[in-house]
Amino acid sequence: MSELLLVVTIGGERVAMSAAAVESVVELDALTPVPRAAPHVAGLSALRSRVLTVIDCMRSLELGETDCSDGIREAAVVELDSHHYALIVDLVEDVVEALSEPVPVRASMAAGWARASKGMIETEQGPLLLVDVGALIAGAETKAAA
């Protein structure tokens, strides 16, 4: 397998997402709140004349809320269904190569992680949880509505 993965930290946990889904990694410094938005939508931001819907990955995973009051936040910019999103993460670490296909997780996980998990994947840095970008964008409300 030769898929590239972006290694990030969310809620203190190192995880991977498909690098093919990521357009860029940015530092967000301005965030405009959106009234009545879903709880995991942190607000809107602009990048190169594009409006980004900013997703708080911590909230999406039901792990609490990212404190955005202290300024700059790292984010992975992705496009899904012709809309651009910035996924706020604790830290962007590296790009690594997947050494295996994802395999089911054989441990109990919190609800948010279980919803967003695509399985465990081997990398040169050891096994990492592969997260589904679409599930992060959808948030917990999608599962509750289903």
Can you say whether residue 64 is alpha, beta or left, with left for phi > 0 and alpha for psi between -120 and 50 degrees? left
> What is residue 69's predicted lDDT score, i.e. its pLDDT?
67
Q: What is the CATH number of the domain that holds 129?
A: 2.40.50.180
Closest listed residue to residue 22, CA positions, set 78, 92, 101: 78
Query: Does residue 59 sit within a domain?
Result: yes
> What is residue 65's predicted lDDT score, i.e. its pLDDT?
84
Query: Does residue 72 sit within a domain?
Result: yes
Tell me how far the alpha carbon of residue 44 is from its chain's centroid. 16
Domain range holding 80? 4-138
10 Å Cβ neighbour count for 25? 16
Closest listed residue to residue 18, CA positions, set 144, 131, 135: 131
Q: What is the pLDDT along the chain (146 residues), one digit of tens a residue?
A: 579 999 999 999 999 999 999 999 999 888 888 999 999 999 999 888 889 999 999 999 999 888 776 677 899 999 999 999 999 999 999 999 999 999 999 889 999 999 999 999 999 999 999 999 999 999 986 544 44
> What is residue 49's predicted lDDT score, i.e. its pLDDT?
82
Query: Does residue 144 sit within a domain?
Result: no
Confidence (pTM): 0.90
Query: Does residue 146 sit within a domain?
Result: no
Query: Does residue 71 sit within a domain?
Result: yes
Integer Cα distance of 51 and 53 in angstroms: 7
Number of domains in the chain: 1
Query: Does residue 145 sit within a domain?
Result: no
> What is residue 135's predicted lDDT score, i.e. its pLDDT?
96
